Chains A and B, each alone.
Chain A
Amino acid sequence: MGDVRGRFRDDLARHPAPPLGDLVQQSVVQGRRLRRQRRLAQFGAGGTALAMLLVIGLAAGPLNVGADDAGQPGGPNVVLPAGSADTTTPSPAEPSDGVVGGFEDGTDRDPFRSVPPTPSTTVIDTVRIGAGPDGELLTTTPQGALELLTRLLPKGKTSGYASLESSGTGPGMPSVQLYLDRGDGPGMLRLSIYRDRLGGDPAPGTVELTEVPDNCVQNKMVTVHHRAGLQVDLMISTCLIWDAKGTVPAPPVLSVKEAIEIAANPSWGTTLPAEYVISGTKRFPKLARSNG
């Protein structure tokens, strides 16, 4: 037995592990979300604001679920009406010392805004998910997702297209990245389509905002729940990935309101109109792959 373990150890030594980074912190964020989704399902959330108020109220209650939400600006007991969820700070984050920082160095914090010390996820809105697309549909590809995303984005120059690895994805559930420059320099956006089968699924149209102040890639993430348990995440980053070792500070290029509108587009799904998939294949023939 000892020899087997020793051989495993040798093999591990030949394949050095990447840094753990904020894995534990991210698992807490994800775990809170799972717990909240389960609670939403238990209470039979039907997508009404009343149900969400109930859940959010519970989160701040004695069950200690989502306790961190209590300290979030805006408060956990507020359900914003549609279109009023724009809380993004428009100015780019400035590093305090001009040094390129990593995910946890805090250089993406806005000194003029009080941010919660820990990640938090809050149901911030409900939107109506329109009817899905008609016509010929093809399995969603990273290229097709980028094609649709670029059509939905506000005017600006796009670049930095990449397909990302994501453990929560399957066929027709890509995760993609691009940079958008609206005149203030490029900022990074990431969009993921996935189905999280853990716990219950919030009602279609539920909009969540996850804020991870110490993570410049997932600084703000809008999640819109579509039908059949499908979720669309749109991350508004405050940095650019420039290689495997670090990041460069960058401005957030979308407001939360804009991100909701994009992520709530009914075209998103495990299939897309064939036009997007075909056009995407032509437009992004050599899509970079990134592990983020």
Chain B
Amino acid sequence: MADEDFVEFAQATVARLRDAAFLMCRDWHLAQDLTQTTLAKVYANWRRVRRADDPHAYARKILLRCMIDQQRRRSSRELAMSAPPERSEEHPAELRMTLLDAVATLPLRDRAIIVLRYWDDLSVETTAEVVGVSIAVVKSQSMRSLNRLRELLGETRSELFAEERH
């Protein structure tokens, strides 16, 4: 019965979890591995997880820990870019920086905050709990990260996060 509960939970969350992992690491194979490791840890702690208020948030917390651990072990696999790519007038649509590229330039913790808040739509409180920081840090880092993303994406995209400016 416990296995059935877990499988039901896992099937409901696996795709979303893997998408979040991909948005943070930009590597589908790594995202797949991290998701599997995350779900394995959830399984190993399933009796406790199933009693948690929000098992999905718990899974995201484990995913983030897996990513941090992975980053420590394999920094060489880090795909973050140190500078935005050169722009081209001839093929702007192909060469312009995407949000994914821009997010990749952020430190992992800030990446996680952006993905959890704006992709997973978690509240500030839940994001703080998952990332393991205070609510104030989530708020301040969100604003800083969005400002950074605006800079990277250029003036023409300033409207992208217009609602976040206030």
Contact = CB atoms under 8 A, between A and B. Distances in A.
Interface of A: 1-5, 7-8, 10-12, 14-15, 17-18, 20, 23-24, 26-35, 38, 64, 67, 165-170, 197-199, 291
A100 B15 CA distance: 27
A200 to B, nearest CB: 12
Given A5-B119, A5-B121, A8-B100, A20 B41 contact: no
Nearest to A31: B43
Nearest to A25: B7
B10 A27 contact: yes
A28 B9 CA distance: 12
Contacts of B10: 24, 27-28
Given A5-B118, A30-B36, A23 B14 contact: yes
Contact of A4 (B32, B42, B44, B99): B99
B39 A24 contact: yes
Nearest to A38: B44
Nearest to B42: A31
Interface of B: 2-3, 6-7, 10-11, 14-15, 18-19, 22-23, 26, 28-30, 32-44, 46, 69-70, 73-74, 98-100, 114-115, 117-119, 121, 146, 160-164
23 contacts: A1-B163, A1-B164, A4-B119, A4-B160, A4-B161, A4-B164, A5-B118, A5-B119, A11-B100, A15-B26, A17-B28, A20-B32, A23-B18, A24-B14, A26-B36, A27-B36, A28-B40, A28-B43, A30-B36, A35-B43, A165-B30, A168-B37, A199-B44
A170 B71 CA distance: 10
Given A3-B160, A34-B41, A165-B29, A20 B98 contact: no
A18 B28 contact: yes
4 A-B pairs with least C-beta separation: A31-B43, A167-B33, A27-B39, A30-B40
Given A4-B118, A20-B32, A23-B18, 19 more contacts: A7-B98, A10-B98, A15-B26, A15-B28, A17-B19, A17-B22, A20-B15, A24-B14, A27-B38, A28-B6, A30-B40, A31-B39, A31-B40, A32-B44, A34-B40, A34-B41, A34-B43, A38-B44, A165-B29
A167 B34 contact: yes
Q: Which of B7, B44, B73 has the most CB of A within 10 A?
A: B44
Contact of A64 (B2, B14, B40, B42): B2
A31 B44 contact: yes
B99 A7 contact: yes
A57 B74 CA distance: 38
Contacts of A7: 98-99, 160
A34 B118 contact: no
A23 B99 contact: no
Contacts of A170: 73-74
Contacts of B42: 27, 31
Nearest to B29: A291
A266 to B, nearest CB: 24
B103 to A, nearest CB: 8
Contacts of A24: 7, 10-11, 14, 39
A170 B19 CA distance: 24
Contacts of A28: 3, 6-7, 10, 40, 43
B98 A3 contact: no
Nearest to B35: A23
Contacts of A34: 40-41, 43-44
Contacts of B119: 4-5, 8
Contacts of A23: 14, 18, 32, 35-36, 39
Nearest to A22: B36
B47 to A, nearest CB: 10
A29 B114 CA distance: 32
A38 B40 CA distance: 13
